[in-house]
Structure formats: structure tokens, C-alpha cells
Structure 1
Amino acid sequence: MVADKYGRQVTNLRVSLTQRCDLECFYCHREGQERSSLEMTPEEIFRIASIGVEYGISKIKLTGGEPLLRGDLEDIVRLLSSLPNIVEVSMVTNARQLNYERAVELKRSGLSRININLPSVKEVTYREIVGRDIGDALRGVESAVDAKLLPVKLNMVLLKGLNSDEVEDMMRYAKKVGAILQLIELEPIKRGSLFYNKYHHPLDQIEREISSKASSVKVRYSMQMRKVYTVNGLEVEIVRPVENPEFCKHCTKMRLTSDGKLKPCLMTQENLLDILSPMRRGESIEVLRRIFMDAVYMRRPYYTYGKNQARIIGGSS
């Protein structure tokens, strides 16, 4: 297992499968990636991931865009789950394309669990945020639960003035379907300061209210010291990526963009390393391993102790 210059081990690989999506959520950061139509084949994804496994990667999360738009998604999952020492292959999706049959097939292919981006359970709010009706998304949530892609986690990014007053509604829904709720702070990626200041909703007050009702709390030490509260049998996880040195201090992730670039940090575009082009040129495995290790050594905490003022990426407006 390898570590970067700050002693942080790299055990998780986030693989963006495509930049295509069936939604246009205005707050989406697209994993911090610039738009690109280039996509890796299942075999290329497998080869790059296998290099990561050599250096200690044990968990893989598939992201996008929308991963379900890949017709070969099951093949990708099957290949990745066959890698030695991989203990989990999971996925982030909006679930709109997920019916029960496909959920079962993904489970059979080796998908362990699923995170579903669901900004609201109210029809009007959901449509305002993503521009579509909510029905397909809710059916996708039910399909994931019924197919035992567990635990199903619902990702709710808090947006001031839009869904910030709907946390209790989401908590009731998550408990009803048997999911875990993740409340996520809006990240200042690819948006200017005006946008960020307009929609960013601090989690402090919400967390205090949840904490006051919780019967227990645990800390996920391997996941940026996140707190998970249990409220009437429902687990609510608080995700604070902004101005949070702990988020960076305990980061274990390497990212792979859909066009084949290693991305050591979500929050910056300054240190991308292309591994797909050398692979397609036929470079040796030694060269590819060196590129992976170079990416590991380029990792540095974006927010650091004593210097943790939020930096707004994407301009000043």
C-alpha cells in the first residue's frame, strides 16, 4: 500500500465512466472534470484499475456523468469486481435509468452497493433543480433497495432557498425505503463566488438539530472523520468538504476521469496526469505504473490547518 508525501494512503479509486448525463443539474461539479466526449473501454478501465490494485486500491466507485448511460456498465462492473483484493465496487447515479431488472443484473455482475443523488422528494423542488419529473428517480431508488444493492445511500446536496428546508421530508423518505441519508455541503467547484454564495447552505444548524434528536453518533475515521447520527433508526451522515482540513487530511481517493486522466484532487485541475494516451500508444506497464505513482505523489491537502479559507474555483462570478 502506498502513501503520498503527507502520509495519506490511497485505497479508493473513483472512476468517471462518462460525461454524458440525462440531467442538467445546475449545481453538478462533474467530479471536477472538464467536458469531454472521450470514453475509456471496459478493458482500459480494467487495466488502469489493476495498476491501482497493485499499489493498494481496495475500493472502486463508479461515477459520471451518469454511469447507467453506459451500455457496457455490467461488463465494467464484472471486470473490476474480478480484480484481486477489491472488496467493494459501488456506484453513484441519479437512478432514473435503473429498473429492477438492471439493478439485479448489476448486483449479479458484482456491484456491491449504490449512492443515489436525490436533491428532493418533492415533485416541484426536484423539477426545479434537475428539470425532470421525480417518478423515475423514486422508482430507481425502490429498484436498488429491492435488488439488495445495500446499503442504498441517498445523497442530498443542500441548496439554500431550494431544498434546505426539506431535510425532515428526506429523512422520513429515507427511513421509509430503508436507505441511509447523506447530507452534503455544496462544493465550490466550477462555479463562481456569486453562485456559491447564493446557494451554499452551511450544515451547522441542521447538524445541531439532528444531533439533538440522535440516539447515537459514530465517526467514520476512514472517511474524513464524518459523523453519522442515528435518529429513530435512520442513519444520517454529514459530509462537509468545504473549509474542512479533516476532509483533506483523511482523503484516501485517487480519481480517474472519463477521458483517462488521473486526478489526484477533486478541488483542482492543476495536476491531471494522462494515463490513457500512453496506454493506447503501447507504453510498457512500467511506464504506466510510474504515471500512477507520480499521481500519488502529486496529492496534497487542498484545505490545510492554518490555511483553510475556501477557494472558489471557476472564476469570481
Structure 2
Amino acid sequence: MSVMLGQLHVPGRREDVLGRIRNRLHEQNSTLPAAIRERELYFRLSVVGTCNLSCTFCHNEGAPTSGKLTVDTASAAIAAATRAGFTRVQLTGGEPLLRPDIPDFVRAAREHVDDVGVTTNGTFLPQRLEGLLDAGLSRMHVSLQTEPLEEAGSADQWGIPPWLMPTVDRAASGLFTLRLNLPVPADALDRTEAFLYTLTRKGVDIKVFSVLPEGEVREDSYPLAELEALVERVNSENAGHHAGEVLLRGFRPPSGIRCATCSDLARCKEQSHSLRLGADLVLRPCLATRQWDAPLDPDDMDTSLTEAALLALDYQW
């Protein structure tokens, strides 16, 4: 039997790998829902493919910058995901807050799970925040970009965009959990520290990650040791305060059954432990390769979600 995997026809490969993953779960006396809980796997839905920004490091999770998910389709997919064992939903894009009806997606998700979040660049939060909270949002990840920080700051220090602090203050009330995702270019380490202190002292967690300069560079050219020292220093200084934590996004080499068959293993940078449904209605269990992408079957979402979830959790054994 030949199946379509991304752009590849691989005879029986998908069925073989799925069978081996199921066997591994059986050998460990585990189930798919139990494995999802253990791996803290969650379900990401891209409600729109487009974005109002053009960040150089953004890959849009392998999806095209097109497509638009409907609330009804999202609700049906989330229902199938919960039957597979998922208990957390994250709404993404593109930029999800481009959708004026984004609160409707939150309400639809809350009918199935309690943990519903959104990942946003934050620029539309002044217009959307209260509607999201009224709809029952429990988690927010704001992916900051360096340009607004530079515009709000000075030559030697990043500043805080005016739209960010109202969101930080609302999170401090306990209505929802807020985390900031912060790319740190190699040439911006000296402008980062004061920014980290200011936000963490407000109780906000910040996940930082390295951004390589553009052009022909080696992957080890980033001064990662300096970034690690900065993270350790800020967390140490904050130890005596009621402060948030600075987290450094790490990398664990993939070693799953699926991963061992992947032609892109050597360049894998998989980080997010999630199963993704794109606005183009394609399920993507992996960021590193398109080999395991598969369309969501509207007539059998349970099978689509179950198979994609098995492939998504097969990252580390």
C-alpha cells in the first residue's frame, strides 16, 4: 500500500510507524491519553494563516499563510482531540487576534477543556483582551518582537511597548496565566537584562531563545553561554522576591520511533510538544519535516486526530 506523506509516496511507512508506536505503548502498559498527559502534549489550532508582522525567524509552523478555520470546525476538532486524550488547547496563527471572532473560538474550546490559551504577537491586545477574558481564556503566550522593544527603549536598553503593561497588570489579578516568549538576537544581550528584571518583578514568566544573525553563519556562533549566564543571574537576583521565572528554551535530541526514520533528523529543531491543526486543515505532528502531515478528515476526525496524536507524542522515549 502506498500512502502520501507530505510530498512523498512511502509504501506502508505511516502504517508501520503507527503500529510500532502502538506496540510501544502496549509494552509500557500505557494508553494514548496517559501518554499525552505524561508528555504534556497539547492541541494547537491555527485559526488564521496570515499575520500583520513579518518576523525573520517565523516559520508559521510549516503552514502556508492562507486558510481560515471556522468556529464549527474548530469545535468539532477539539471534541475529537479530547476523545483522543488532550486536555489543553492553544489557539494560534498566523496572528489569531486578527480574527474579530477569536472570543468565539475560546468559548467553543471551553465547552470541551478548561485550559484554553492563545499565542499572539500582542499588537491587537488593546482591542481584544477583555473579550478574550470574558470568553474564558485561561492562558496567554505573547511572542514579543525586538522592534517594538527597541522603539520603546533607548540605544542601550529595551523598553516596554505601551500595549503590554495593561495585559501584565490584568494577569497579575490572577484571571489568566501570562508568559512572554522573547527572541534574543546575538547583538542584543546587553540590552536585555533590565527588561527581564522589570517584567519578572511583575510576576511574569519569560521564555527566552537565541536568534542567529542573518546570512552565512555557523549554528554555534551564538554566544549561548552568555545568554545562559544572564538567565541564571536574573533568576538568582529574583530569588528573594515574588517574581516570575526566566526560562531558556532548550533542545533535546529526538529519539522516537518516527524520528529514527526521518530524513531531516540531522537538522531537527523540534521544540513544541504539541499536535498542530493548521488553518489549511492539515494536521502537523512535527515541525521539522512535512513527511507526517495529513489532512483532517471531516468525516472521521477521531481517526485523524488519534493517528496524528500518536505521531506527535513519538518524540522521546
TM-score by length of structure 2 reads 0.71
Residue deviations 1:153-188, cap 9 Å, x none?
111112222x3333303212313543211112449x
- 2:253 maps to 1:240: no
Q: Quick one: distance in 2 between partners of 1:196 and 1:202?
A: 13
Deviating more after overlay: 168-177 vs 67-76: 168-177
Runs of 5+ unmatched residues, structure 2: 1-19, 26-31, 257-267
Determine which of 291, 294, 317 is the counterpart of 2:304: 291
- Aligned in 2, Cα 1:195/1:298: closer, same or farther, shift over 3 Å? farther
Rounded to whole Å, the distance in 2 between the matches of 1:204 and 1:38 is: 40
Report the Cα distance in structure 1 between the residues aligned to 2:281 and 2:307, rounded to whole angstroms.
Answer: 15
TM-aligned CA deviation for residue 215 of structure 1:
4.3
Deviation of 1:195 (Å): 5.8
- Which SS does the other structure have where 2:245 is aligned? strand
- Equivalent residue number for residue 125 of structure 2: 98
Match of 2:76 in 1: 47
| Alpha-carbon distance in 1 for matches of 2:106, 2:153 | 29
Q: 2:209 aligned to 158, 180, 184, which one? A: 184
Aligned to 2:29: none
Residue 38 in structure 1 maps to residue 67 in structure 2: yes
Aligned equivalents of 1:256, 1:239: Cα separation in 2:
23
Shift of 1:244: 7.0
What one-letter code is carried by the residue in structure 2 that aligns with 1:39?
Answer: K
Residue 146 of structure 1 corresponds to which residue in structure 2? 170
Q: Is the 8 A contact 1:185 1:200 kept in 2?
A: no
Gap change, CA 1:209 and 1:126, over 3 Å in 2: closer
Aligned residue for 2:46? 16
1:74/1:109 contact within 8 Å kept: yes
SS of corresponding position for 2:176: coil
Please state whether the residue corresponding to 1:22 is helix, strand or coil: coil
For 1:299-314, what aligned pairs fall within 5 Å after superposition?
299=312
* 8 Å Cα contact 1:158/1:201 also seen in 2: no
Letter in 2 for 1:253: S
Residues 93 and 126 of structure 1, relative CA distance in 2, 3 Å threshold: farther
Q: What SS does the corresponding residue of 2:179 show, helix, strand or coil?
A: strand
Q: Secondary structure at the match of 2:45?
A: strand
Task: Please name the residue that 1:170 is paired with.
Answer: 195
1:107 paired to 2:133: yes
Conserved? CA contact 1:15–1:61, under 8 Å: yes
Aligned residue type for 1:66: E
Query: For residue 98 of structure 1, what is the amino acid of its counterpart?
Result: L
Task: Write 1 or 2 for the structure with the bigger share of helix.
Answer: 2
Query: Who is 2:224 aligned against?
Result: 203
Choose 1 or 2 for highest CA Rg. 2
C-alpha displacement of 1:260: 0.9
Distance 1:141 1:16, change over 3 A: farther
Structure 1: segments with no counterpart, 5+ residues? 128-133, 217-228, 306-317
AA of the residue aligned to 1:179: V
Q: How many Å separate the matches in 1 of 2:124 and 2:192?
A: 25
After superposition, the Cα gap between the structure-2 partners of 1:144 and 1:90, relative to the gap in structure 1 and judged at 3 Å, is farther
Match of 1:315 in 2: none
CA contact (8 A) 1:158 1:183 kept: yes
Change (3 A) 1:288 1:106: same
1:113 deviates by: 2.0
- Relative to 1, partners in 2 of residues 1:170 and 1:144: Cα closer, same or farther, differing over 3 Å? closer
Task: State the identity %.
Answer: 23
Query: Alpha carbons of 1:107 and 1:273: their partners in 2 closer, same or farther (altered >3 Å)?
Result: same
Corresponding residue for residue 116 of structure 2: 89
Counterparts of 2:272 and 2:149, CA distance in 1: 33
- TM-score between the two structures when normalised by the length of structure 1: 0.71
Q: CA RMSD in A?
A: 3.8
